[in-house]
Amino acid sequence: MQVQFAGLEPERWSSNLYWSWLDSLEPLLTVPGDGYPFFMRSGAWVDKSLSTWLGSWSQLRHDSILYAKPTMPGPTGIPQEPRGYVEPNPWLYARLAGLADQAQRGLGERGLLSDDLSSRLDRLQALLYDLKDISEKELEGRAITDDEFALIRGVGGALRTIARVDASSQETDKRVAVVADVHTVPLAGLVLEEGVGDAFTLYVVVPEPDDEGSPRPDRQHVTVGSVFSYYEFKWPMSDRLTDEAWQAMDSRPAQPTWTGSFVVDD
């Protein structure tokens, strides 16, 4: 599989939104080196990023399930007033902004873009470029402005508005958790389910900013955010899971063993 994907033509990765989505996530699979914060250079962070990649791929397969058939075999303490911190991965934000631009242009050329959706895609691109700029500042040790700290703290609300998730939305659509069967083994009566669970709380130790917003290497504090939870498991093909059933499940299957490097059970 590595040889097959390495041999793909560069044009394939931008041939449609599905491939561009995967290409946008590629920076998550790059192991950070010198110049990145120390927490990003740990094996646990690499596993966290792989879990995030797989969670996003699971959502992609879930949303395209009608168009892409499943495959089958051949025969510590938190500061009282946190300023905010962005995972410094500027290439990721830049590629996601490019993906939003591709979606906007592609839908527009086909007469499928409403004014409302165009406006939301514009706001998404602007937000992603802001996150890119902030993450570059963090990597270079430059000061973060008060407006940028405010943008970080309000990113959840901004994404909720862009995605148009409000009180009138279906309860299922308000949840992060989704599931999709992507591979079927008829002789065994099983399917392979790929799922995103509820978001986990993520704790990261980062440099504490001074009053001007510049990082202080001699002072550290714990930041808190959210991270995808990823699941892959076999399930009876006679009882393929729906999002509703997955969200209502009290006890979910175990996560992949390699997530144990960064997931801690309560």
pLDDT at 78: 42
pLDDT at 189: 96
Read off the pTM.
0.75
CA atoms lying within 13 Å on the CB side of residue 36: 16
Q: Which residues of the chain have pLDDT under 50?
A: 76-80
Calpha distance 84→65 (Å, rounded)? 36
Residue whose token pair is 């992949």: 256
Helices (H), the chain: 2-6, 17-24, 43-63, 90-109, 115-140, 146-153, 155-163, 243-248
- Is residue 226 within 8 Å of residue 201, measured between CB atoms? yes
| Confidence at residue 76, expressed as pLDDT on a 0 to 100 scale | 45
Neighbours of 171 (CB within 10 A): 8
What is the reported pLDDT for 80?
A: 43
Burial bucket for residue 86 (CB in 10 Å: 0-12, 13-18, 19+): buried
Phi, psi values for residue 189, rounded to 5°: 70, 30
Torsion of CA 168, 170, 176, 180, to 10 degrees: -160
Residues 206 and 39 sit within 8 Å (Cβ to Cβ): yes
**Can you read off the two tokens belonging to residue 251?**
């006890």
Q: pLDDT at position 2, please?
A: 82
How far CA 260 is from CA of 51, 60, 205, 214, 234, in Å, comes to: 11, 24, 19, 34, 20
pLDDT at 7: 87
Q: What is the CA radius of gyration of the chain?
A: 20
Strand partners, 209: 215
